[in-house]
Amino acid sequence: MTHSSPIAVRYFRRNWLAFMVDQAFFGVALIFASTTTVLPSFAATLTDNAILIGAVAAVWSGGWLLPQVFAAPFVSHYPRKYPIMIIGQLIGRPIYPLFAMWIILGGTRYPELTLALLLFTVAVFVIVDSVVALAWFDILGKALGPQSRGRLMGLGQVLSGGLAIGAGAVIRYLLGPQGPGYPLNYGIIFALASLFFVGSFVACVFNVEPPEAVETNRPTLRQFLPQLVRLWRTDQTFSLVTVVRLLTGAGALATAFYVVYATDVLLLPPGSIGLFAGASTAGSALAGLVLGPVADRAGSHRVVQMAAWSMWAVPVIALLCQSGVFGAYVGVIYPLLYVLLGVVEGSVLLGFFNFVLEIAPQGQRPIYIGLTNTAQGLLFVMPILGGWALQATSYPLLFGIAAIVTLAGALLALRLPNPRVAETKVALSAAEAAGQPDQGQA
C-alpha cells in the first residue's frame, strides 16, 4: 500500500522522529508500570490471593483490548484521528500521578482500598488508551510505509532499551535494601512512570496527520458486527495471524507469576525485580535491533514467528529452573526468561501490528486493529485462570499448560505468508469482507 500523500512526504522525517520518541518514552513508562514485574509485585504486597494478583494483568489486558472493536467504527469513520489521539491522552494519563500521590502519602495503610484503587487506575488508563491506540496506529499507517515502519519501531525500541536499562537499575535500587523502603519505593516508581507518559504525550503532539478519504457514514453496531464476521471468514490471512496471536498470548496464563515464583520459590532477592525489568528491556531492545531490519527486509511474518517461539521458550525455562537442572546458577539463568518476554513484547509492534497494517486496506486500519485486539482481549481472563490454577495445583502444572498452548501458536505461525508477496490477493479479500469495492491500494 503506497503512501504518496504530499503531506506524508513533506513531514516524513518529523513524523518518523515523533513516533520514535513517543515509542521510546512510552516503552520506558511501561517498565515502571510493568504487568510482569512491578504491578504484580506491588499487588503481592497488598494481598496473598493469587487470583487478585493475576487480576491486575487481566484488567490491563482486557481493558486495553476488548473495547477496541466497539471504538473502531467511530475512529475509522472520523476524518481526523489526531484530536482523538491527543484528547484521549489528556483524559486518561493523569490517573497514574494521582495513584502515585496516594501511595506516597501512605495509602497502603489500607491495603484492600489500595488494591481496589490500583485496579481502578489500571482500568481507567488502559480503556482510554485503547481508543488512543486506534488513532495512533491509523496515523502511523498513513504517515509511514511498510518499508520504513520496521526500522522506526526497531530504533524506537533500541532507544527505549537504552533508557530502560537505567530504569531497571533504578527499580532495583528502589526495591532493594538500600532503597527508601516500602511503600515510598513503589510510589516513586509510579511517579516515574507518570513522567515518561508525559514525555510520550509531548512527542505525539508533534505528529502531522496526512489526509485520507474515509467513509463518513458511520454504521450502527448492528450493521457493523456482521461486517466483522464477514471479514473474519473471508480474509484467511487476517484470521490466521489473529489465531497465532491468541495462542501466543495465552502464555499470559503464567506471565504474572514468574516474578512471584522467583522470590517465593527460588528465593531470589526482592532486588531481582529490577534485574528482571532490565532484562525485559534488554530483550525488547534486542528485538528492535535485530528484528526491525528483519521486518523491513524479510517481512513482518518472520518477526511473528520468532516472537511465537520465544514465548514458548519462556515457560520451558521456568520448568527447567523448577527441575533444579541449573543448580546454583538459577539466579543467572532465570533473567533469560525475562529477556525472552522482552523480545515478545518488543515484537508486538514489529510483528503482529505491522503485519495487520500491511494487509489492511486504506480506511480499514482501525477496523483490522480493533478486531484483532478485541479477539486478543478475550484472553484477559488468563492471569485470573492462572491464579486459580496455581492455587488449585502447582507452579509446574501452570508452566506446563503455558508451554503447550504457546507451542501450538509457534507451530501455526510457520504457516503465515509474507504479506508483501500476497498483497494484491489480501487487499481484494479484505475489500470484499468489508462490503466495499477494491480501492486499488495494493
Position 214 in a domain: no
Residue 359 lies in a domain: yes
Give the confidence band of 314 by pLDDT, cuts at 50, 70, 90. very high
Q: Which CATH number does the domain housing residue 38 bear?
A: 1.20.1250.20
Most confident of 112-121, 233-242, 288-297, 385-394: 112-121
Residue 1: inside a domain, yes or no? no
In which band, very low, low, confident or very high, does the pLDDT at 11 lie, cut at 50, 70 and 90? confident
Q: Which residue, among 411, 402, 289, 291, has the nearest Cα to 347 in the 3D structure?
A: 291
Q: Does a cis peptide bond (omega within 30 degrees of 0) precede residue 183?
A: yes
Task: Assign 267 to helix, strand or coil.
Answer: coil
Distance CA 406, CA 124 (A): 30
Place of cell 490471512: 237
Domain count, the chain: 1
Is there a domain that residue 439 lies in? no
pLDDT at residue 436 is higher than 50: no
Between 438 and 194, residue with greater pLDDT: 194
Identity at 362, one-letter amino acid code: Q
| Residue length of the chain | 442
- Residue 442 belongs to a domain: no
Q: Which of 7-16, 64-73, 210-219, 267-276 has the lowest mean pLDDT?
A: 210-219
Say which residues have a Cβ less than 8 Å from residue 155's Cβ, sequence separation at least 6: 20, 288, 292
Within a domain: residue 43?
yes
- CA distance readout (Å), 332 to 276, 279, 335, 376: 11, 11, 6, 33
Over residues 50-75, the mean pLDDT reads 82
Residue 285 has pLDDT above 70, yes or no: yes
pLDDT band at 166 (very low <50, low <70, confident <90, very high): confident
Q: Which domain holds residue 277?
A: 6-209+219-433
Per-residue confidence (pLDDT) for residue 216, from 0 to 100: 60
Q: In whole angstroms, what is the distance from residue 93 CA to residue 129 CA?
A: 8
Evaluate whether residue 438 is within a structural domain.
no
- The mean per-residue pLDDT over the stretch 66-86 comes to 83
Question: Residue 432 is which amino acid?
Answer: E
Burial of 91 from C-beta contacts in 10 A (0-12 / 13-18 / 19+): middle
Distance of alpha carbon 331 from alpha carbon 279, whole angstroms? 13
Q: Is residue 376 part of a domain?
A: yes
Region 187-200: mean pLDDT is 95
Name the least confident of 49-53, 57-61, 434-438.
434-438
Q: How confident is the model at residue 222 (pLDDT cuts 50, 70, 90)?
A: low
Mean pLDDT along residues 23-32: 89
